[in-house]
Amino acid sequence: MFEPAILLKGPFPIADFIIEPSGADWQSNPDYDLAVAAEWDRRTRRAAELGDHLWDGLSYRVANADAWTSRRLQLGTVNYRYFATYRRLHETHLAHGLDPLHHLSIAALVRTSDDFYLFGRRRVRRNIDLIGGGVQPDEMTVVCGADLEACLLKELREETGIPAAAVTELTGLGVVLSIISNILIIGHATLSLTRAEAQAAFAHREEDEMGELEWVPAAGIKEYLRAMTDYRVLVADLL
């Protein structure tokens, strides 16, 4: 497993990232694929028992090691099943000498006009998380930094029902690495909506991945983040 780390500290405009296509799609091997297939089958059956469905499409991955010094992202792809199974198979992954997955996600701390931060509690697994998600070529082709901003605003609308027009300011806070080698661009979105208005918008969300919203007063946000897990702890150091 990877040690969570801050790769880039902001603030910065997310739209300033330069995006380049890369032929460096993530490469597995037949033996590792057998292990992934067995674990994926187990996860698929477990998800069905919980009334959930596992998606197995492509996500973008960051292929170049100098992405955060150059602010230039060379994007390849990796299938979801590889990073979904990585926690259980990370020792096998290491033994095979495979490259890090480095799949790309974008997420945000979202602050209301009356000084609350909102988080989502996932409907099936019930864990609390930032609003955001994976950057996926089948949902949006990313050719410039502005597309990354658009992806984040899309995730906000889908998961919370809050439209892009309600975001008065969007800033990049930093980039972090998670324990499963996920690379996350973390933004900060300020809303024109109050907590009550944002809660009302949640009833009109487009997806039901988040079952409910969790609210944290702005004065306690760093303490709240430091009590979370994985890369989320580091987000407090980006504020």
Does 135 have pLDDT greater than 80?
Answer: yes
**End-to-end C-alpha distance for the chain, whole angstroms:** 26
Chain mean position to CA 105: 4
Annotation: CATH topology of 5-238: Nucleoside Triphosphate Pyrophosphohydrolase (3.90.79)
- Answer whether residue 158 shows pLDDT above 90: yes
Asked whether the beta carbons of 172 and 187 are under 8 A apart, the reply is yes
Give the pLDDT score at 111: 98
The structural domains of the chain, with segments of one domain joined by +, span 5-238
Residue-wise burial string across 131-155, b where 16 or more C-beta atoms lie within 10 A, e elsewhere: bbbbbbeebeebeebebbbbbbbbb
Cβ atoms 180, 84 nearer than 8 A: no
55 pLDDT band, cuts 50/70/90, is confident
Model's pTM, two decimal places? 0.95
Integer Cα distance of 207 and 229 in angstroms: 24
Structure tokens at 168: 């008065």
What pLDDT score was predicted for residue 129? 96
Q: What is the mean pLDDT of residues 40-66?
A: 89
